Amino acid sequence: MSGIIAGYLPLFDLYLIHVGLAFSQYIVLRAGVFSLATAAFAGIGAYTAGIFAVNLGLHPAIGLLAGTLTGMGAAIFLSIPLARLRGVYQAIATVAFIQICLSLNVYSESLTGGAMGLNNIPKTVGTGTLFVFAALATYMIWAIERGRLGRAFNAIRQDEAVAASLGISITRHQMLAFAISGALAGLFGGLEAYHAYALDPNQFGFHLLITILSYVILGGRNTVLGPLVGCAILIILPELARPLAENRMVIYGVMLIVVINYVPKGIVDTALDAIRARRLKMREETVS
Amino acid sequence: MLAQQLLNGLVVSGVYALFSLGFTLVFGIQRILNLAHGAIFMTGAMVAFYTVKGGGPLWLGFILAILASGALSVLVEIVCFRRLRKTGDEEFGGIISSIGAGLVITTIAQQVSSTQVLRFPFETFPVVIFKFWGLRVSMLQLFMAGAAIILVLILGYYVYRTAFGRRIRAVTDNEHAAMLMGINPNFVYSQTYFLAGALAGAAGVLVGLAFNSITFLMGEPYLMFAFAIIILGGLGSIPGALLASLVFGMVQTLTIAYLPSGLTDTIIFASLFLILLVRPHGILGKEDAGNLRGRR
C-alpha cells in the first residue's frame, strides 16, 4: 500500500508546486489583467533561490524569501508599463518579458549556468513543506476572494469605468494583483529549485506558460476551487491514460479549444453556477 | 561587409513580411491574435519537404505547401474562432483557443517527423552564387526576395484593387454595416484566413530552403518576431507590417553581425517593450490601441 503511495508522491509534489503557480496566474486574470508572465516570475524566483543556495550557501529559508521578493519586485516593476496597456497588448508585452528573461538567463552564464542550467542545488524541500506552502497560498487566495480586495478585482474585471467611478483605483489594484502574482510565482519557483536539484532555463518558457494557463482555463477563473481542480485533472489525466501520456500536449490543446468554446467559464465555475441555479429554482418552488 | 549585411537583411525581411502580413491581416479583420500562425508556417515547410521527399519537384511542393497551409488556416478559423465570435469573448478566448490549435498541430508534426530535423536532399535548390560589386548573392536568396515581392504585390493588389479586397476592408471597418450591405462576413473571414495561411506557408518553405532545417518547433521564434513586427507596424496595418518587417529584418541582421550574439533576442524584445510603452499603436497603426472594444 505504502509502495503505491510512494510511487505517486512525485506526482503529488508536482501538483503542489503547480497549484501555487496556477494561483499566481489566477490572481492576475481575476483582476482583469491579461498577463502571462507567471512563467518568467517563477524562473526569476527559482534562479534567485538556486543561486543563493549554490553560490552563497545560504539557508533555504533565506533563499525562498529572496526568491519571493525578487519575483514580487519583478512583477511590480513590470506592472508600471503594463498599466498603460490593455488586452492583447498586455499579453504580447508579458510574452516579450518572458523572452527577455530567457535570453538574459542564457546570456549571463557565469551567474545562472547559461544553457547548461543551474545544477547541484541541495534538496531541502520535501512534500511536507510543499504542502504547507500550497495550503497557505490557497488560504491567502481564498481570503482575498472573500474580502474587499476580491470584490474590487471583480468590479475591475467586469467594467473598468464602473470600478473607477466607485472609487477603486485601477492602477493600484492591478499593481497589487501583479505583486501577489509575482510573489506566489517567485515562492513556488524557489520551492521548485530546492525540490528538483537542478534548473534548466527552458523550463520557464512558453511550455510552462501554456501548462499553467491550461489549469486556470480548465478549472475556472472565478473561484479558488478552479485552479485546484483544473491542476488536479491535467496532472492526473495523462497518468491514468498511460498510452495518452505521449500525446499530453494534444490533450492540452484539444482541451483548451473545447473548454474555451463550450465551457468558457471553466468546469468548476459552470458546475457551481448550475448548482446555484438549481437551488434557486428549488427555493422558488417551495415558496410557491 | 556592411553592404553585404544589408543585402542579407533585405532577404530576411521578405520572409518576415510574408509571415507577419497574414498575422496582421487576421488581427485587423477579427481582432484575434492567431497564435497558431507559427504552426501553420511550419506546416508549409513540412508539406514541401514531404513532397520533395516523395519524389515531386520543388515547385509542386511549393504550391502544395501554400494550398495546405491556407486550408489549415481556414480550418483553424472555423474550429477555434467561429463560435467564440458569437459569444463576443474573442479577445481573450481567441488567444487561448489558438494556443490550443498550435499545440495540436505542432504535436502532430512532431509525431510525423519523429522529432527529427528534416533536411531537403542536396541540390533540391541549385546552389549558384552570383558576385557583383564585391557582394555575394546566391540564387536562393534571389528566389526568396523575388517570391516575397511577388506574393506581397499579389496580396496588395487583392486587398486594395479588387471587389474582394473592398469586402475585406469593409468588414474590417465595421462588420455590422458590411452585413447590411449584403456581405457574408463568414465567407470573407474564410478567404482572409486562407490568404494569411498561404502567405505563412510560403514563408515556411522559403525558410526551410534557406536554413535547410525543418523542425516541428520552427514556427515559434517567427511567431515571437512577428509579435514585435506587427506591434512596431501597428496591429492590423498592412503597410505598417511591411515597413516594420523591413526595419526588423535589417536590425536583426545587423545586431547579429555586430553585437554579442547572445543578446540579439534581449535587444529585440526589449525594444518591443519600449515601442509598446512609447507608441502602443505602432508606426502606422490607428490610435485606438488598447481600446479594442466598442468596434461593433
| Sign of the four-CA dihedral B53, B58, B59, B63 | positive
Model ipTM?
Answer: 0.81
pTM exceeds cut of 0.95? no
Contact B125, B62 (CB under 8 A): no
* DSSP secondary structure string for all residues of A213-278: HHHHHHH-SSSTHHHHHHHHHHHHHHHHSHHHHTTHHHHHHHHHHHHHHH-TT-HHHHHHHHHHHH
Nearest CA in chain A to B109: A250
**pLDDT score at A21:** 93
Region of A214 (left: φ > 0; alpha: ψ -120 to 50; beta: rest) is alpha
**pLDDT score at A1:** 47
Mutant choice from B78, B91, B265, B281 vs A, greatest count of A C-beta within 10 A:
B265
What is the spatial distance between Cα A198 and Cα A192, in angstroms, rounded to a whole number?
9
With cut-offs at 50, 70 and 90, classify the pLDDT of residue A284: confident
With cut-offs at 50, 70 and 90, classify the pLDDT of residue A180: very high
| 8 Å CB contact of A260 and B93 | yes
Cβ of A99: how many Cβ atoms within 10 Å?
A: 25
Q: Where are the domains of chain A?
A: 2-287
pLDDT tens digits along B27-70: 877 778 888 899 999 999 999 888 888 887 888 888 999 999 99
| A contacts of B290 (beta carbons < 8 Å) | 84-87, 89
pLDDT tens digits along A102-123: 888 888 877 777 777 788 788 8
Query: How far is A257 from chain B, CA to nearest CA, in Å?
Result: 5
pLDDT tens digits along B201-256: 999 988 888 888 888 888 888 888 888 888 888 777 788 888 888 888 888 888 88
Taking the Cβ of residue B217 and every Cβ of chain A, the question of whether any pair is shorter than 8 Å is answered with: no
**pLDDT score at A71:** 93
Query: How far is B189 from chain A, CA to nearest CA, in Å?
Result: 18
pLDDT tens digits along B168-197: 888 877 778 888 888 888 888 888 899 899
Nearest CA in chain B to A248: B107
Contact B289, A89 (CB under 8 A): yes
Average pLDDT, chain A: 86
**pLDDT score at B41:** 92
| A contacts of B231 (beta carbons < 8 Å) | 89, 92
Give the three cell numbers for residue A172.
493600484
Report, as an integer, the average pLDDT of A217-228. 88
**pLDDT score at A81:** 84
Nearest to B292 among A88, A106, A253 (CB): A88
| 8 Å CB contact of A257 and B97 | yes
Nearest CA in chain A to B268: A100
What is the spatial distance between Cα B228 and Cα B216, in angstroms, rounded to a whole number?
22
* Domain topology for A2-287: ABC transporter involved in vitamin B12 uptake, BtuC (1.10.3470)
Average pLDDT, chain B: 82
Taking the Cβ of residue B33 and every Cβ of chain A, the question of whether any pair is shorter than 8 Å is answered with: yes
pLDDT tens digits along B120-131: 777 667 777 777
With cut-offs at 50, 70 and 90, classify the pLDDT of residue A33: confident
Contact A232, A282 (CB under 8 A): no
Continuous H helices in chain B: 2-30, 37-53, 58-76, 82-87, 90-112, 139-161, 163-173, 175-180, 185-211, 219-233, 238-258, 264-278
Nearest CA in chain B to A247: B107
Nearest to A89 among B83, B263, B276 (CB): B276
